[in-house]
Amino acid sequence: MTVIDANRMNEIEARYPEYFHRSLRQRFGGLMVLIATLLYSLYAVWFFDLPRLFAEAHWERVGIYLSQWVSYDVQPEFRIQENGSIEVRYPRFSPLGDNPRPDWLVNNPDGSVTLSIRGASRTVTVSKSVTIVTAHGVSVPVDVSSGAPKVVGPVPGWMTVYDDNVLADLGFAGDVSISVDRVKVRKRFIGWANFIFDTQSSFFDKPFSEVVGLIVSGPRIKPEQSNVSLAFDDIWNNSEWQHGDVWTKLFQTIVMAFLGTLLGALAAFPLAFLAARNITPNRLLNQVLKRFFDFLRSVDMLIWALFLTRAFGPGPLAGSGAIFLTETGTLGKLYSEGLENIDNKPREGIKSTGAQTVLVHRYGIMPQIVPVIVSQTLYQWESNVRGATIIGAVGAGGIGLKLWEAMRTNANWENVAYMVILILIVVFLFDAASNALRHRLMGSRTH
């Protein structure tokens, strides 16, 4: 066991004062940060009133929206005529077309109509005097012969009785609304209806093998046009999914991001040389340009888009201009900071040979700053592909406006899902291409 005397202890304290004479901040700094974070979290909970928001949130809508992203519904309506017959009607723009004959709807010999919502486990049978809903292992008759529909027997939990109708909620499969003179059914299907050919297409409701046969070697459907061209026109001009318009708007978004970033980089590059203190020794000019960059960056791209749509009207020009202004400020700041952090020795060495200013910049500065320019510009480009979608929602063109129009109807959520998936794919591809290009360019300069 080693004994340390007082002199040795004093020597150790003098050599390592930071361990023996720690300040209050050093001793309790971590605990103070933890307490401050906890207090701020409690303040945020109170300020945003999170308990009330969570209690009043419509969480059930999440499931409804998600189900509508991956499914569609058909809404037949059964009208009970005075003579006892049942007339089946469909909405004007039904996914089944103008003359639907679904196999899940059967006309019974007694004049009633049976609709299968999910196989034999969930069905609706409509007759003149009674509608029978079968679900969850029970059959519930609803009498419609009197002034108001009336459930015969106990009312199950999935059925709600109102003054003039009875609503049966069958979950994801659909629902049934029963009144005295009509029965409305919402039957849900997994998938996207008529995604390839709409109901007006000559190829609608034909089996896949028949469509392929017509396109490859079948007789012309329209004498003046080949079947290949006709099929492409029907897909591109699909009235329900609007593939042509969606893809055109998506291309506009890509062009907006590319053009805005390119013009911003071209404008920021020379201005950055004037803003860098070590390149342009003019204090006033440096400060004016840096504050100019700050101004362009401080006004959000969305605000620039609102201003420009007022000036030039809605369209991709306003979107490209908004990205250009924002990127001029962002890239100008990044380029100028990169220039101010370069090593001045190569520049001074070339300058000492009597080389012109252009050559000094070319060989003394550019080899050091190019990696920064390439990396930051590519990153901003891929980021602007996402940003162009947002500003499109305020009228700046592109797929963002199309997406907002589909969301605003609160009914075309499958179209929203389609466009969101396209946006995700484009962002993923551009991110991958940007990373690959950045690594390739940076790698080629390190060898």
CATH code at position 374? 1.10.3720.10
Do 267 and 375 lie in a common domain? yes
Residue 28 corresponds to which tokens in the numbers above? 């309790």
Helix (H) or strand (E) holding 52, with range, is: helix 50-56
Do 170 and 130 lie in a common domain? yes
Residue 177 is predicted with a pLDDT of: 94
Do 183 and 203 lie in a common domain? no
Domain that holds residue 394: 243-446
Decide which of 210, 231, 252 is a domain's last residue: 231
Residue 442 is predicted with a pLDDT of: 67
Segment 187-214 mean pLDDT: 90
Residue with tokens 């362009």: 296
Q: Is the pLDDT of residue 269 over 70?
A: yes
Residue 166 corresponds to which tokens in the numbers above? 């009875």
Do 399 and 257 lie in a common domain? yes
Residue 123 is predicted with a pLDDT of: 92
Residue 79's pLDDT band, with cuts at 50, 70 and 90, is very high
Residue 443's pLDDT band, with cuts at 50, 70 and 90, is low
Residue 439 is predicted with a pLDDT of: 78
Is 59 among the domain residues? no
Do 167 and 308 lie in a common domain? no
- 416 Cβ partners below 8 Å, 6+ apart? 69, 403, 406, 407
Decide which of 231, 257, 283 is a domain's last residue: 231
Do 408 and 436 lie in a common domain? yes
Is 35 among the domain residues? yes
Do 207 and 262 lie in a common domain? no
Strands 122-126 and 130-135: antiparallel
Is 64 among the domain residues? no
Residue 415 corresponds to which tokens in the numbers above? 């179209």
User: Domain tally for the chain?
Assistant: 4
Do 88 and 207 lie in a common domain? no
Decide which of 231, 254, 287 is a domain's last residue: 231
Residue 445 is predicted with a pLDDT of: 47
pLDDT digits (tens, 9 = 90+) for 142-154: 998 877 899 998 9
Is 238 among the domain residues? no
Residue 446 is predicted with a pLDDT of: 42
Average pLDDT, the chain: 86
Residue 185 corresponds to which tokens in the numbers above? 């059914």
Do 219 and 157 lie in a common domain? no
Beta strands in 94-204 (DSSP E): 105-107, 113-118, 122-126, 130-135, 138-143, 150-151, 159-161, 166-169, 174-178, 182-190
Is 55 among the domain residues? no
Is 137 among the domain residues? yes
- pTM comes to 0.79
Is 275 among the domain residues? yes
Is 57 among the domain residues? no
Could you tell me which residue, 67 or 6, shows the higher pLDDT?
67
